[in-house]
Homo-oligomer: A and B are copies of this chain.
């Protein structure tokens, strides 16, 4: 993406980094997504299943915060998961505004079936980088991500 020296060295450095970040993220997501779709799930749907499988029941708000999407979006994703009987909503008795979402038995089974294979695929895709490089990348991305979070 030719932006060489048009906006100053610092801006060019940042812009090329940014382009590579988006590309790597998009391409990675596309590849793992194809795998997930073969199980009849979309990526966001799988994201919710994974979250509930690892962390247990969560509220709509929690899910949105973790996935970095709005509540309206979570509502739609859950509607579609509920149609497939993979999750269920439960109104909280302490605070009746709150809804807790949890996996059904079918959801639990689906999660366990898919996730192991998914983890393998992610590992394989990442394996173009050595373990040390993956650690370096994680560290840099973590630093970037944390700093950006404060600016939201």
Contacts and interface: CB of A to CB of B under 8 A. Distances in A.
A40 interface: no
Nearest to A25: B25
Nearest to A115: B7
B55 A141 contact: no
Contacts of A135: 13
Given A10-B123, A31-B152, A123-B10, A129 B143 contact: yes
Given A68-B26, A151-B125, A145 B20 contact: yes
Contacts of A22: 25, 29
Q: Which residue of A11, A116, A147, A152 has the most chain B CB atoms within 10 A of its CB atom?
A: A11
A134 B58 CA distance: 36
A92 interface: no
A27 B149 contact: yes
A127 B14 contact: yes
